[in-house]
Amino acid sequence: MEDRRVHLSFSEAFRLGYSHLVRRSGRSALNVASIALGLSFYTSLLLTDVFYQTHAALGGARLNVEQTYYWLVAIALAVSVVGITNAMLISVQERVKEIGTMKCLGALNAHITLLFLIEALLQGLAGGVIGYAVGAAAALLTVGFGTGFDIILKVPLAQTLTLFASSIILATLLSTAATLYPAYRASRLDPVEALRYEL
Amino acid sequence: MSFDTVIELKGLKRLYTVGGEDVKALDGVDLEIGRGEYVSLVGPSGSGKTTLFNMIGGLDRPTGGSVHIDGVDISRLDAYELAWLRCRRIGYIFQNFNLITVLTALENVALPTVFAGTPREEGLRKAGKLLKMVGLGERLNHKPTQLSAGQQQRVAIARALANDPAIILADEPTGNLDLNTGTEIIDILHGLNKNRGLTLVAATHDLKMIKASDRVVWLRDGRVERIE
């Protein structure tokens, strides 16, 4: 008995998702920027605090980040998520026919979901890395004049690495969460409707 | 010439509800199509051609009656089996080609083999062979936007063949092409039907396509008006 199943291996899904991101680089860049902006605010705040701690540990005055900033970070991240959801919904709308075609060629709903989530994952990763770099630069500029710019050399490496990892994970999670609903919508498209769809 | 039946429609009905009113897109269609046969579906717009195309292609589910492909009632298939049927047994060709714009010609043709679980190298090799067969051996790495309409349709034909389907379903395949390019496409399709024994079902207005076919099914108001 022949194996009556359709497939989409992770590496192939990855390849397809990557092709989409590269070909529609303008939109991808906007999504990455959206995540990176929120994330840079987040990392700049946390890094500033790490710098202050290090400064205090070395005998300097203990400075603190104002609590209200943490609220602003939460709001900034929420805005990023909403922006990405919106951009991905438009992306689904633009690709209705393509999704219908893929279903004709044998794609399952789960395959369509996977493709969109992989795009979200890649955008999240890129956004996390860029956001961290920008945030670190911003934090250094904020505290540097008070503590001296060489503070960055005195910070415990473990702490910056943990923060880097948490930024990347947060960015990926947010980007993926923002794409869940658009991906679900895409996967549920009826191929007949989708093929008839005119943009 | 006798054929074993590959597509069998029995009392096929499809109702749509549009603005609270029932529209009978198909109103009891009975039709048998044999293996290796070339059938044209002809009729005015709104006669149910496209609905019939969708039904045979396993893209839409009947309201009443049944569609059997290779003796299997496709309304009984679950989502996985239906995807398999679309992937392996049927090749689709559309009026507007429906190529994936972000992929090259080669990747487009190889896409069905991805879903079929064919190893990547093998899928790409096969896609290359099929593109050579339709005369696009020099255009493997072009994106659809870099190809003419006729070339895009040839890519679509190669894609339809990627998993060696038994049935090729074509919906107005020459509808967006000029006369000469249309004739080329018809020749390719006709050749596949004659040389490879593929069952070809085409919804069309094109007189040349109709002439080339073994049988013409005339549809009107969701019913078969006559067969010749």
SS3 of B203-224: the string is ECCCHHHHHHCCEEEEEECCEE
Across the interface, whether the CB atoms of A102 and B101 are under 8 A apart is answered no
The 3-class secondary structure across A117-168, one letter per residue, is: HHHHHHHHHHHHHHHHHHHHHHHHHHHHHHHCCCHHHHCCHHHHHHHHHHHH
ipTM for the complex shown: 0.89
pLDDT for residue B1:
44
Interface of A with B in 105-144 (CB under 8 A): 105-109, 111
Which of B146-175 are b and which e, b meaning 16 or more Cβ less than 10 Å from the residue's Cβ? ebeebbbbbbbbbbbbbbebbbbbbbbbbb
Alpha-carbon gap: A51 to the closest alpha carbon of chain B (Å): 45
Across the interface, whether the CB atoms of A101 and B100 are under 8 A apart is answered yes
Across the interface, whether the CB atoms of A12 and B114 are under 8 A apart is answered yes
**CA–CA separation, B153 and B176 (whole Å):** 9
- Sign of CA pseudo-dihedral B203, B209, B211, B214: negative
B42: left (phi over 0), alpha (psi -120 to 50) or beta: beta
Interface test mutation site (partner A, options B26, B69, B89, B102, max chain A beta carbons within 10 A): B102
The pLDDT > 70 percentage for chain A reads: 97
pLDDT band at B3, cuts 50/70/90?
Answer: low
Question: Would you say residue A105 has pLDDT above 70?
Answer: yes
Q: Report the number of secondary-structure helices (H) and strands (E) in chain A.
A: 8, 0
A119 contacts on B by Cβ (under 8 Å): none
A192 contacts on B by Cβ (under 8 Å): 54, 59-60
Q: Mind listing the pLDDT tens digit for each residue in B25-81? A: 898 899 999 999 999 999 988 888 888 999 999 998 899 999 999 888 998 898 899
| Mean pLDDT, range B176-204, rounded to an integer | 92
| Mean pLDDT, range B188-210, rounded to an integer | 91
A91 contacts on B by Cβ (under 8 Å): none
Question: Would you say residue A1 has pLDDT above 50?
Answer: no
| Mean pLDDT, range A123-129, rounded to an integer | 95
Question: Would you say residue A181 has pLDDT above 80?
Answer: yes
A191 contacts on B by Cβ (under 8 Å): 59
Alpha-carbon gap: A122 to the closest alpha carbon of chain B (Å): 17
